[in-house]
Amino acid sequence: MASTVTSVYSLDSMIKIALDLSAEKDFFRLMQKILSEAMGICHCDAGTVYIKEKDHLDFYSVCTKSKGILTNRNDKEAVMPPVPLTRKHVCACSAIDNRKINIPDIYASKEYDFAGAQKYDSFNDYHTQSMLVIPMVDEKDNVIGVLQLINSLDENGKIIPFDPGYEDVVSALASLAAVSINNHKLALEVSNLLHSFVSVMVDAIEERSSYNATHTRSMVKYADRFIGWLNETDSEWKFDDDKKDAFLMSVWLHDIGKLVVPLEMLDKPDRLGPLRDRIKSKIEITKLRTKDEKLISELDKAWDLIDASNNAGYISDETIASLKGMASIQCTTIYGLTEPLLNKDELDAITVQRGTLTADERHKVEEHVSFTARMLARMNFNGSYEKVPFWAGSHHEFINGTGYPNHLSEDEIPDETRLLTILDIYDALTAEDRPYKPPMPSEKAFAILTDMAEEGKVDKDILQMFIKSDAWKKTE
């Protein structure tokens, strides 16, 4: 009989099973496949897959064909308790001793505690009789789990003992399963490490600048909701779980380069920053040292205009001209020397027409994209995560080639980057916690994005999908 079993499950059969197991990405489906293959080999009615933990065995999949039961550990109705690694339990003994255990009739066995099996029988109106327990041993000869098979059946459906010929074949399957399980665990560990890195980086950004982390978290929410909506439509553009995780990771990491941008630029709430107090001091000292009422009046008017312009969202060309005209007013220092009211750096800062950053400061902030690309390029992103550095490092590129830092052309910018760009711009416009500007209503933000689409900067179709998805709406 043993030779018949071995011939049925040839090397080719095992190779096919191995390929099938290695191709399965979902851990719980993998457990089901392992159990299904083992039950098929032994022509049995029921079985359980256990995974070894430090001091116990956790069940991961259980099947009883005659009762229509198929349960995984992640199912809500799954209530099977862990099995302690003690010699009272047959599956634990198999794991402890790394040995196969074949029992013709558990009710006749006195060696192990079958109270659990008997309780299961009573609760489910079932009769457990024959049992085959096989340890799952990996390539390092470590037991990582146990296959417990119940009630081998003959061709008429009658319960019979497990033929010893099954043991070696199921052991071979168990070894294949152990390798697949280890691969899954390794992949999960690498994924967890990568996600931990992302979490640490976002926390670091948040520690430096709270609004930047809020910006990233908001973008992730928009992206997650948009992908969910997209996958439910008839669009050809879909995100499977791996691609979704990779894209969300690129969103989490898109601003990592801001870690090396000076904080006083990232969080600059007004045009002058610390220069404001210096200008105010020049004016006060000059007023104390002069009796020229005309000069005092000019300085007061100049300060009113400077102070109002410092926090304005936008200043007109006329205001800029007035500020430039006032810049040359001569002030007196505490040492009796003279200097202009506004030096070059102060004039450059206060005459920024929109926003708070000078051209030089803006250039340094924009360099965060290059820093992002360089930092992520030093990491080994493989498989489904391979595109993460490119997506994250290209989110300021425009499809008409006017973006930065590399001025990519339309055919060089994938849809994922185009989506990330839209998410970035939308949240930047509507963010409620920016220190240098009030939030913009969604309608106005979309009007600006629509204008950018007409100019060929952002993708018009993806923008319309994003608007239609309602993924941008605020939720509690």
Per-residue pLDDT band at 119 (split at 50, 70, 90): confident
Does pLDDT of 437 surpass 80? no
Q: Are residues 143 and 37 in the same domain?
A: yes
Q: Are residues 343 and 370 in the same domain?
A: no
CA atoms within 13 A on the CB side of 368: 22
Q: Are residues 258 and 307 in the same domain?
A: no
pLDDT computed for residue 95 by the predictor: 94
Q: Are residues 133 and 249 in the same domain?
A: no
SS3 for the chain is CHHHHHHHCCHHHHHHHHHHHHHCCCHHHHHHHHHHHHHHHHCEEEEEEEEECCCEEEEEEEEEHHHCEEEECCCCCCCCCCEECCCCCHHHHHHHHCCCEEECCHHHCCCCCCHHHHHHHHHHCCCCCCEEEEEEECCCCCEEEEEEEEEEECCCCCEECCCCHHHHHHHHHHHHHHHHHHHHHHHHHHHHHHHHHHHHHHHHHHHHCHHHHHHHHHHHHHHHHHHHHHHCCCCCCCCCHHHHHHHHHHHHHCCHHHHHCCHHHHCCCCCCCCHHHHHHHHHHHHHHHCCCHHHHHHHHHHHHHHHHHHCCCECCHHHHHHHHHHCCCEEECCCCCEEECCCHHHHHHHCCCECCCCHHHHHHHHCHHHHHHHHHHCCCCCHHHCCHHHHHHCCCCCCCCCCCCCCCCHHHCCHHHHHHHHHHHHHHHHCCCCCCCCCCCHHHHHHHHHHHHHCCCCCHHHHHHHHHHCCCCCCC
The mean-pLDDT minimum among 98-102, 261-265, 395-399 falls in: 261-265
Answer whether 45's CB lies under 8 Å from 65's CB: yes
Pull the structure tokens for residue 118. 């008997």
What pLDDT digit, counting tens, does each position of 338-357 carry?
999 999 999 999 999 988 88
Does pLDDT of 360 surpass 90? no
What percentage of the chain has pLDDT greater than the value 90?
51
Per-residue pLDDT band at 243 (split at 50, 70, 90): very high
What pLDDT digit, counting tens, does each position of 140-199 carry?
889 999 999 999 999 999 999 999 988 988 888 888 888 878 877 777 777 777 788 888
The crossing angle, in degrees rounded to 10, of helices 210-231 and 460-469 is 90
Does pLDDT of 16 surpass 90? no
In a domain, 476, yes or no: no
In a domain, 243, yes or no: yes
Q: Say what the pTM is.
A: 0.61
In a domain, 461, yes or no: yes
In a domain, 338, yes or no: yes
Per-residue pLDDT band at 358 (split at 50, 70, 90): confident
Give me the amino acid identity at 282: K
Mean pLDDT score, 8-17: 58
Q: CA of 13: how far to CAs of 115, 211, 433, in Å?
A: 37, 57, 61
pLDDT computed for residue 210 by the predictor: 58
Q: Are residues 246 and 369 in the same domain?
A: yes
* Other beta carbons within 10 Å of 153: 16
**What CA–CA distance (Å, rounded) separates 45 from 64?**
6
Which one, of 50, 69, 24, lies nearest residue 149 by Cα? 50
Q: Are residues 345 and 377 in the same domain?
A: no
Give me the amino acid identity at 153: L
Q: Are residues 320 and 250 in the same domain?
A: no
Q: Are residues 408 and 449 in the same domain?
A: yes
The mean pLDDT value of the chain amounts to 87
pLDDT computed for residue 54 by the predictor: 86
In a domain, 389, yes or no: yes
Q: Are residues 253 and 383 in the same domain?
A: yes
Which one, of 336, 333, 342, lies nearest residue 309 by Cα? 342
- Nearest 5 degrees, angle CA 215-CA 371-CA 414? 70
In a domain, 195, yes or no: no
Greater model confidence, 364 or 312: 312
Q: Are residues 373 and 230 in the same domain?
A: yes
Q: Count up the domains in the chain and report the number.
A: 3
In a domain, 358, yes or no: no
Does pLDDT of 408 surpass 90? yes
Give me the amino acid identity at 128: T
pLDDT computed for residue 224 by the predictor: 95
Pull the structure tokens for residue 40. 């098929």
Mean pLDDT score, 272-279: 93
Domain of 83: which CATH number?
3.30.450.40
Per-residue pLDDT band at 75 (split at 50, 70, 90): low
Give me the amino acid identity at 80: M
User: What are the residues whose beta carbons fall under 8 Å from the beta carbon of 192, sequence distance 6 or more?
Assistant: none
In a domain, 403, yes or no: yes
Mean pLDDT score, 226-244: 94
Greater model confidence, 18 or 232: 232
Q: Are residues 23 and 122 in the same domain?
A: yes
Mean pLDDT score, 57-70: 88
**What CA–CA distance (Å, rounded) separates 266 from 260?**
10
Q: Last residue of some domain: 155, 186, 217?
A: 186
Answer whether 258's CB lies under 8 Å from 368's CB: yes
Provide the residue range defining the domain that includes 318.
Answer: 278-353
Farthest-apart Cα atoms in the chain, separation: 117
Q: Are residues 252 and 391 in the same domain?
A: yes
